[in-house]
Chains A and B, each alone.
Chain A
């Protein structure tokens, strides 16, 4: 809604300058989207009267005009055709600067000196008519500055009206806001009915077939009018309201829409068959050619205005071309109707047709302004187009809509807002908004809601009005008083937070990737990337194909992030993401959203330094991270890594993560073939695992074990086994054999090469043995060693080096 400061001043004595007005509106709920200062921009542009028009001696398309500009007469060469002797036109004097920046100079045009320029609307920024000169109202005084007749300086304020405040989609609505905020007086425009004595009923007939969609229809007729361009004051207002001037009739209807919020439609009276208006639903396969010259197919849900021959307008949306007011029109049937918002909204949406009328009807219009708007329009039409107006109006309004009454409990208002307002404070605020109040006992107020405030339906709506006008910022600040609230994160939330911090401390950076991904990115990774047989969840209306399916894995997004960094020559990358993935659940409306953790690392980890060259990422880098994570999150739980066969990972460098006997994810290196296809450099360590199963419940409190005080003995062994035997077998076997006294075991070296026979590897382990109840003797340890050597040899064919 575009608001003109000077126009608004016609309805209310604004006690503020435009800047203050903007502030007051902002703080009472009307958001300001933009401000435009206009004028005085038409400096040195004055009203001129054309005294003579002569053909140009050297150019067929030009004319030489003699023009009176008040204190002198000027010769001006002009290319327009639409002017006649005696016309008043805008003249830009030599030195004038047009709104488009052009400075007018004295010029010689094909042999004739020209002292200024006669202007079109578009040249003055007053409209978009570029064809001919702007012809001014004959009453304009020659020599007068155009600024003065065009309204002069003004501030145009673009207001965002919230959906509930349809009443503010008009000058009068915003004037009411100003009046409420400032206690200034409102001046309503003249809406008194008048006529020539002949009843309107004789001139037309109106039938409403669907009163639920059209509760009211007012029609009035004016005859013997002369269609033409609007006078300057009218054009000026229409432009300020954001409309394009068309002709004096249409401009008046648009002015009323802007002023009172009631959209009107003018039909060419003589083209309405039998002067009979029928408001009905469209019939199947009915069509109408609308004002914009488009043939539109209607359906049975759309409300139309028809005459006996067929639809002549799409109700509340757009008129038909056939009954359009044109230059030859001499009589107008003016419609001022009330339509149900949902019906208009549906029709507008289905036709893809939005108009100034449909925007207003969709939000809602005061049903009781129809007649006043019609009378006001008639007065203005007569002023700008002449004619005689029939008395009265055809007003079909079968069930008049009455003002609503609401009870407002005084205590409830203060309880809601945390204020200590009195009943009379509240009544004063409501009265300033034109809401009538009467006391209802000692504790409540009975409030009558004028029909233009149809958004006020409940007591709580009135509470908001009181808060709004009282001022949100006048209300004090307190805190909830309840002593029953306790703040905490759930176990899972706390663990996720800890995990993120741990991964960051381990040198990884947290990535956030989109939840919707490119289905192609999954295809590239092959069928093993998400659970067999599960369909993907697709968006019906994605932004683009590469953001069109909900991710079943975090991997695709992280690899994309890695590729982006690689493409920017950033190579030592460790990224992690913790987020939900989306898996369809058969027979459920909503998918499952398990929480996953994923890591990708590439390049050196840790990074190279002057101390050492860093380590190239491989399988063990990512495995170590996962081991640390699991150990931190669940020190009590048991996890293993089993070899696996996922197609998109390196065939011999991957494993399944088994936690508490359940497979929760994988670790591995990306398949070398995929690395080159995805333009990724070096080995890529990657893992993804399920967090829900790891973090579901707090693990039980760890039971204290006494620290062993007897000294222990360290023992190293280099075990030579077949290359294919996993080292974990050696460790498992040692663990089983020395269970009671083994406190720690770790692999400190793995060797293959010349020192041992081919096909073998040496796994060097370091054991720490310690008994709970005694000091181990050398001979005991020696026995233990002998036993181990025997068992390892028997079970794994191992030799001790």
Chain B
């Protein structure tokens, strides 16, 4: 029998053994047995020295083919055995995916914060900056500069919380109170800035009401635009964008004439009822409309108080009650819950 035949027999034997080998260890042993330095193929090749010059290339070629065949058979078997081990370990990893993850229960910002930020973002988009002012205010900023006369009923103890209603100076404008609206921020900003002014002022305000639709502390967002060419039509357009962003693009709005000391003309603004869509229900008392904010053109007297010339600038202002938005948009029935801080309430929004 020649060397060539030996190689063929060896290859066939190796492939047979690889085929029946079991486990990664057995495959490794076979690799050593056939292809190792002291392996059988190597042993056969060592005999090549005894061949003639003419036989040598032919046998060399066959020897290389044999090595490649065995190596491939071993690699294939290794991959096969490796993958089934992995499969087994994967199978052992089986879990119940319906169980909850390693989660941190997300907390919630307050509904009032969410609404304020939403309104703020709408107006930032329209080019307004965010202004703030003190919650404990002077009569001057809360009433006098806003054209609210001395004997106006809003100034009474029945509506306004006072810290010091009779200042030592005797000047009523120095009476100290909790601001009854966010409008004094208008005055503070205008006194410190030259026009144009485009601001919104979100914040707390205080009045002495306490029932299911009124809390003694509440939140407002005040808006003010002062420029050379502001018109009532601009106020309408601005409010339409605002109300639709807040309540939905399909909402209608309407403006009704009203009276505020600090605006002229003044308007109350209604949005078509979010519950009945205008056909009339209990929420809107059958009218199809919900009152949502007060607005108007800045009264010339207000401009005089802050040193603006009403012949040179005009402006509009508006104020929206955040709790009212919460009631109308989220269906709250008793707004006192907003400040009770029961987590079952807080976590709903």
Contact = CB atoms under 8 A, between A and B. Distances in A.
A164 B100 CA distance: 63
B196 A482 contact: yes
Contacts of B206: 515
Contact of B129 (A417, A487, A505, A511): A487
A478 interface: yes
A28 B254 CA distance: 12
Interface string B310-349: 0000100000000000000000000000111111101100
B108 A590 contact: no
Interface residues of B, number: 85
Given A504-B109, A565-B343, A478 B237 contact: yes
B162 A540 contact: yes
15 contacts: A31-B256, A164-B259, A415-B229, A418-B232, A473-B255, A477-B240, A482-B127, A485-B128, A489-B129, A510-B110, A515-B178, A540-B163, A568-B342, A580-B135, A582-B136
Interface string A584-623: 0000011101000000000000110111000000000000
Contacts of B208: 541, 543
A52 interface: no
Contacts of B340: 561, 564
B120 interface: yes
Given A479-B237, A568-B342, A416 B196 contact: no
Given A510-B110, A543-B210, A590-B134, A480 B234 contact: yes
Interface string B95-134: 0000110111111111011000100100111111110101
A543 B117 CA distance: 29
Main secondary structure of the interface of A (DSSP, over half): loop
Interface in B131-178: 132, 134-138, 151, 157, 161-165, 167, 174, 176, 178
Nearest to B204: A515
A43 B237 CA distance: 53
A209 B37 CA distance: 136
Interface of B: 99-100, 102-110, 112-113, 117, 120, 123-130, 132, 134-138, 151, 157, 161-165, 167, 174, 176, 178, 196, 198, 204, 206, 208, 210, 216-217, 225, 227, 229-234, 236-238, 240-241, 254-259, 264-268, 297, 299-300, 314, 338-344, 346-347
B231 A514 contact: no
Interface stretch (A68-76, A444-452, A461-469): A461-469
Given A31-B268, A490-B129, 6 more contacts: A482-B127, A485-B127, A507-B107, A513-B341, A550-B136, A582-B136
Contacts of A29: 256-259
A162 B257 CA distance: 10
B163 to A, nearest CB: 6
A659 to B, nearest CB: 23
Contact of A593 (B136, B157, B229): B136
Interface stretch (A236-244, A322-330, A495-503, A645-653): A495-503
Interface stretch (A133-141, A218-226, A569-577): A569-577
A464 to B, nearest CB: 4
Contacts of A475: 232-233, 236
A589 B176 contact: yes
A481 B225 CA distance: 11
A460 B240 CA distance: 24
Given A26-B256, A460-B300, A611-B102, A589 B138 contact: yes
Contacts of A515: 135, 178, 204, 206, 217
A162 B259 contact: yes
A383 B112 CA distance: 63
A505 B108 CA distance: 8
B163 A478 contact: no
A477 B237 CA distance: 4
B238 A505 contact: no
A346 B151 contact: yes
A503 B267 contact: no
A464 B266 CA distance: 8
Contacts of A477: 233, 236-237, 240
B231 A418 contact: yes
A477 B346 CA distance: 38
Contact of B256 (A472, A480, A538, A593): A472
Contact of B339 (A418, A479, A504, A514): A514
Contacts of A162: 258-259
Main secondary structure of the interface of B (DSSP, over half): mixed
Contact of A543 (B107, B216, B255): B216
A467 B232 contact: yes
A405 interface: no
A475 B137 CA distance: 36
Nearest to A570: B343
A510 B162 CA distance: 29
B107 A489 contact: no
Interface of A: 26-29, 31, 162-165, 342, 345-346, 415-419, 458, 460-461, 463-464, 467-468, 472-473, 475-482, 484-490, 493, 497, 500-501, 503-516, 537-543, 547, 550, 561, 564-565, 568, 570, 573-575, 580, 582, 589-591, 593, 606-607, 609-611
B233 A419 contact: yes
A512 to B, nearest CB: 5
Contacts of A480: 198, 225, 227, 229-230, 234, 238
A514 B216 CA distance: 9
Contact of A504 (B107, B167, B237): B107
A461 B117 CA distance: 36
Given A460-B299, A479-B238, A489-B120, A505 B107 contact: yes
A24 B347 CA distance: 44
A169 B99 CA distance: 70
B21 to A, nearest CB: 41
A157 B109 CA distance: 44
Contacts of A487: 123-129, 198
Nearest to A579: B204
B255 A472 contact: yes
Nearest to A540: B162
A346 B150 CA distance: 11
Contacts of B104: 505-507, 606
Nearest to A26: B256
A443 to B, nearest CB: 15
A597 B197 CA distance: 31
A476 to B, nearest CB: 5
Nearest to A467: B265
B12 to A, nearest CB: 51
A570 B254 contact: no
B342 A564 contact: yes
B231 to A, nearest CB: 3
A35 to B, nearest CB: 9
Contact of B107 (A472, A497, A509): A509
Nearest to A493: B130
B136 A537 contact: yes
B187 to A, nearest CB: 14
Given A501-B109, A504-B108, A515-B204, A467 B257 contact: yes
A418 B230 CA distance: 8
A467 B127 CA distance: 27
Nearest to A557: B341
Contact of B343 (A468, A506, A573, A606): A573
